[in-house]
Homo-oligomer: A and B are copies of this chain.
Amino acid sequence: MRLLMINPNMTEAMTRPMARVAQGIAGDTAEIIALTAAQGFPYISSRAEAQIAGAHVLDVIAHHHDSVDAVIIAAFGDPGLMAARELFDLPVVGMAEAAILTAAMLGDRFSIVTFSPHMARWYGDCVRQTGLEARFTGVRCPKTAPVSVDTVATDLRADLIGLVEEATARDGADVVILGGAPLTGVASDIASEVQGLLVDPIAAATAQAIGLVRLAPTYGRRVARPVAKPSTGLSPALARVIAGG
């Protein structure tokens, strides 16, 4: 089984730890093909950026969909997820959605802890997108944005532990999602020091992608496929998919 893991952020240094965690979950079951976006932004943190980066995600999938079994969009916020799921005939998994649905099987209520207040709104939107906001206790984050996203996992370790405790003790969450690519690996690092069950989104996304491939949905029979049509300004690979090829 081959899983394409696309990091829609242009930061290669985020891709590596995510690929490592994903491969750890996949073990011998699946091979992780990790790609980093060649266009867009170092780190996506707004809807405008997600609009643009999500279009690039479609382009990357268009180049690779024939040679993989499923796709993981490896940015919490899932840019392009709904569009990709509509367009391609294979499972497409988003880090945020997979983490949220996994959390829903581990406990009643879940929280998202992240590293910057700039992410809070977008991550809340992700929960609304799934439809599970009634079980969501909210986003907990530091009051100020970090100086650099590259080292938040170590710089903010103590803060993140405190935020998880607030999410469980004050907000009543059973499960806490550590949201945002820069927090990859933090869940397993701090799990023994906090109350509550933790979810690492890239781990959850990998497990869900493997599960969906095993279920072997018959994509050839899929409804809600866009009507084939011509296009202008797209890469040949993406234009071909849009044209129904």
Contact = CB atoms under 8 A, between A and B. Distances in A.
Interface of A: 10, 25, 29, 38-43, 45-52, 54-56, 58, 80, 82-87, 91, 93, 97-98, 101-102, 104-108, 118, 120-121, 130-132, 134-135, 145, 168, 172, 174, 191-192, 194-200, 203-204, 207-208, 210-212, 214-215, 217-219, 221-224, 226-227, 229-234, 242
A198 B226 contact: no
A210 to B, nearest CB: 7
Given A105-B101, A212-B102, A118 B221 contact: no
A104 to B, nearest CB: 6
Given A41-B229, A41-B242, 8 more contacts: A40-B233, A48-B87, A51-B83, A52-B83, A102-B215, A195-B221, A207-B211, A210-B211
Contacts of A91: 105-106
Contacts of A10: 232
Given A215-B203, A217-B198, A46 B86 contact: yes
Total copies of the chain: 6
Contact of A192 (B38, B97, B200, B218): B218
B55 A51 contact: yes
B174 A215 contact: no
A194 to B, nearest CB: 6
A202 to B, nearest CB: 11
A204 B214 CA distance: 9
A208 B97 CA distance: 15
A50 B56 CA distance: 13
Q: Which 4 A-B pairs have the closest CB atoms?
A: A39-B233, A207-B211, A46-B226, A51-B83
Nearest to A197: B217
A125 to B, nearest CB: 9
Given A86-B46, A217-B106, A196 B212 contact: no
Nearest to A25: B214
A81 to B, nearest CB: 10
A194 B84 CA distance: 23
